[in-house]
Structure 1
Amino acid sequence: MTRPHPAVVVALVGNPRPGSRTLGAATALARTLAGHLGAGADPAVVDLAAHAPGLHAQPRPADVDAALATVAGADVLVVATPVYKASFTGLLKSFLDLYGPDALTGVVAVPLVVSATPAHTLVGEVHLRPVLVELGATVPTRTLSVLDADLADLGPAVARWWERAERPLRRALGAPGASEAPTPASPTASQATRQATPAPAVVR
């Protein structure tokens, strides 16, 4: 099945430092995916460092609501975080906690984790993937885990990841070039549900 519209690609960055290298990596990956998938526009970028003061404010600021809607409206969502205490950042968790159950249904998520040591390459699979799935997102590929040393030239790491990720990612999107082989039923980005309704924290 072909998508009725070009894919909307969004990068969500959970590094609390403005202008971080995680932001640069997420933007680069989102642009690469947009190019491969024929996105209709440049990827939107939600840098949580710019929204951190408002995540716990009451009433919630309009810019945070706009960020929630942008992320929930993505077809392809790059979720990027540095490793912090062997997991993803508290800033990213605080943002995801603002969503109600299944709020990311219809979103195809691509975790991107930046770490200082190979010992943390499974952080995305062990910690971040379950949270995204709990919120309803489809995560059809393995996490792209990169080391700090890779950030100077991210191209080779992305190319290696894409070789394995292209087929499941296209299949999840129903994009041209996807395999026609039958696969187990799972939520896809063609589903129309998009929610950004706040609810009590459901991510633990």
Structure 2
Amino acid sequence: MRTVVVAGNPKPQSKTLDAGLLLAEALGLSTPEVIDVVTLGPALFGWGDPAVVEAVALVQSADVVIFASPTYKATYTGVIKLFLDQFAGGTGLQGIVAVPLMLGAGPAHAMAPDVFLKPVLVELGAICPTPGLYQIDRTYAEDAAIPIWAARWAPVIHALAHADLSHPVTTRSNGA
């Protein structure tokens, strides 16, 4: 199963990236490939840059992608927004199991992954079968939230990542 962690923090090698890697490990996912979005720099402002195209292709080839962002002004960062703008609307993340993860300074924005990040991932075609995960940036590595969350949701993520999602779901007619 191919796994990618996308970190949308304006600082390279951030706590956000670390939290994404910890979550991938707790979920029992394969060793993830990493896209530290800020390292793509000004190329994110245009279209067709080879490094950005390669990063988009990496995400599109994944089975599971953890999209991690710090909370800025109660929502995700502009850096991750610029990266997500590189995907074609409605289909750019088609068939990918996506996990929204956000870090913040306090509990006031605990709904941000579900209210802000998850809808844009779904709009781009991703499958987001779980609630998003919000972590306090000072304690994410020590508290039990990541392992507890992972124990609950890993079976769902693994099942969907291994499912054949290439065929539309059909329903039986009840004869009506």
CA distance, structure 2, for counterparts of residue 111 and residue 22 of structure 1: 12
Q: How many residues align?
A: 166
Q: Which residue matches 1:107? A: 96
Matching residue within 132, 137, 151 for 1:163: 151
Q: Distance in 1 between matches of 2:45 and 2:55?
A: 14
Runs of 4+ in 1 over 4 A off after TM superposition: none
Q: Which residue of 2 aligns with 1:25?
A: 19
Is the partner of 2:140 in helix, strand or coil?
Answer: helix
Percent identical pairs in the alignment equals 39
Number of the residue aligned with 2:73 = 85
Secondary structure of 1:149's aligned partner: coil
2:132 is aligned with 1:143: yes
TM-score (norm. length: structure 2): 0.87
- Are 1:150 and 1:157, in contact at CA under 8 Å, matched by a contact in 2? no
Which moves more between the two structures, 20-29 or 7-16? Answer: 20-29
For 2:133 and 2:84, locate their aligned partners in 1 and report how far apart those are by CA, in whole Å. Answer: 20
Q: Matched residues in 1 for 2:12 and 2:151: separation?
A: 31
Which residue is 2:82 aligned to?
A: 94
Instruction: Tell me how large the CA RMSD over aligned residues is.
Output: 1.8
Give unpaired runs (5+ residues) of structure 1. Answer: 1-6, 175-187, 194-204
